[in-house]
Amino acid sequence: MKKYLSILSDLEQKIQEGQYRAGQKLPSVRNAAKSYRCSISTIIRAYAELEKRHAIYSIAQSGYYVVEKQGEPPVRQTGSMIDFSSASPDVNVFPYLDFQHCLNKAIDTYKYQLFTYGDATGLEQLRHTLVTHLAGDQVFTKAERVVITSSVQQSLEILAKMPFPNGKSVILVEQPSYDIYLRFLEAEGIPVCGIARSTTGIDLQELEEKFKHGRIKFFYTMSRYHNPLGTSYSEEERKAIARLASKYNVYIVEDDYMADLGEERSFDPIYAYSRTSHVVYLKSFSKIIFPGLRLGAAVLPEPLLETFYAYKRYVDTSLLSQAALDVYIKNGMYERHKRKISRQYAKRMRALHEAVQRHNDASLIEISGVSSGVYMPFMLPPTVNLERLTKRLAERQVTVVSGKQFYLSDYLEREKFLRISISRAQPEQIEQGVKVIVEEVKRSRSFSSPD
């Protein structure tokens, strides 16, 4: 059964990635059996399943061919728009076939449980599965402290609005930080202040001063693969943040939404260093599977549980999606897909570094040593006008995101940069995209008008 599913998944992936193009003939049943080292009957079964799913079609006495589906996104079209702006996963690596199998398996396994209202804390089986899953990232907890949410965003909004046991009211955010959350805090009128974070880290003395005197309810941080900086805190910084939180009774909201997209295996989150349960750990599954899944998990300290439950109140996540995720993790598909997508993104990040080295001859752009995740900031000369630059790049079919939007509206000490994302930029596009950016930065530096 595992061999059959592995072959099925591999064939589907090759079709999605364009290795087998629309109209192309697949290997004969006999040749495919030799290639996969399996029986002919296993290949016939896999081809029959692909035909059933309308991925391929058969012609008598000829063979099997890839179906051309209307309305599908083009796969790796060179010469089109180079997307350095999107934060969403690459559609070419979505695990459609694997997850479809998990949906079917979930219905067979959980049956009527999936068609009730369920529990607002999430499917019990999934929460128990996540206890083991999270332990791999040194996040040790009990199922009772895990809450399933409709993405990390829901957890962030609840935490911002609910009262905390420390009686404080101000939310401290890194600058720059996650733009959608910043806009939410400002729109809701929630007290918020910023602290500078650069590609080299954070000023721990300033952080202690803010914890000590700023009436900080919680500090929102992305400890690794930060958006938009792409960097991760050092072990010393993570330990210090945990220690300061305990010392000054400040909670940490650790958004580890990019945890599965890096190649680092020795990274322990801030949560692992907290001895006084002052850290809320947030985990997303959308970045590793696909955005439409909209599932996240919050690991909450005991003192926050009752209030968080009260603010969440009702079931708002699909039980079927939760059950499918449970199957996806248990059968090892999640871990396999995580390794695959991490390798692909690391390859793209290396291509980005190499392209900058080749084209940035005048050192107009400064980059950091980020090698994992999907984000890299291109630090720019102060004379470059960001709005003019992004417009010119769009005219040349390169989309980027200005660093301006990742700051609070009233935060003045801003760095000038473009956030580059490699999640949707195909490897063969990165070289040309970087070349165009460098050319436009050279052109823009002659304009000295500020943004």
Do residues 439 and 362 lie in contact, with contact meaning Cβ atoms separated by under 8 Å? no
In a domain, 32, yes or no: yes
In a domain, 66, yes or no: yes
* Strand, coil or helix: 406: helix
In a domain, 301, yes or no: yes
Domain that residue 268 falls in: 97-330
426: CB partners within 8 A, 6+ apart? 76, 78
Same domain, 164 and 131: yes
pLDDT band with cut points at 50, 70 and 90 for residue 438? very high
In a domain, 451, yes or no: no
Q: What one-letter code names the amino acid at 293?
A: L
Which burial class, exposed, middle or buried, applies to 135 when counting CB atoms under 10 A from its CB (0-12, 13-18, 19+)?
exposed
Q: Which of 38, 72, 106 is the last residue of a domain?
A: 72
Residue with token string 């599932």: 295
How many angstroms from the chain centroid is the CA of residue 159?
Answer: 20
CATH assignment of the domain containing 348: 3.90.1150.10
Q: Work out the angle between the directed axes of helices 302-312 and 152-161 (0-180°, nearest 10).
A: 100
In a domain, 417, yes or no: yes
Phi, psi of 421, deg, nearest 5 = -115, 135
Same domain, 210 and 339: no
Same domain, 284 and 342: no
Which burial class, exposed, middle or buried, applies to 332 when counting CB atoms under 10 A from its CB (0-12, 13-18, 19+)?
exposed
Query: How much of the chain, in percent, has pLDDT values that exceed 90?
Result: 57
| Lookup: tokens for 119 | 């529990």
pLDDT per residue over 103-146, tens digit each? 888 888 877 677 666 678 899 999 999 999 999 889 999 999 99
Least confident of 64-73, 171-180, 204-213: 64-73
Model confidence at 62: pLDDT above 80: no
CATH assignment of the domain containing 14: 1.10.10.10
pLDDT per residue over 304-334, tens digit each? 999 999 998 876 778 888 999 998 998 888 8
Same domain, 312 and 339: no
Same domain, 206 and 231: yes
Model confidence at 21: pLDDT above 60: yes
Number of folded domains in the chain? Answer: 3
Same domain, 305 and 351: no
Same domain, 308 and 438: no
d(CA 194, CA 134): 30
Q: Which of 330, 345, 362 is the last residue of a domain?
A: 330
CATH assignment of the domain containing 112: 3.40.640.10
Same domain, 309 and 278: yes
d(CA 221, CA 29): 52
d(CA 33, CA 39): 6
Least confident of 124-133, 395-404, 437-446: 437-446
Q: Bigger pLDDT: 61 or 342?
A: 342
pLDDT band with cut points at 50, 70 and 90 for residue 340? confident
In a domain, 190, yes or no: yes
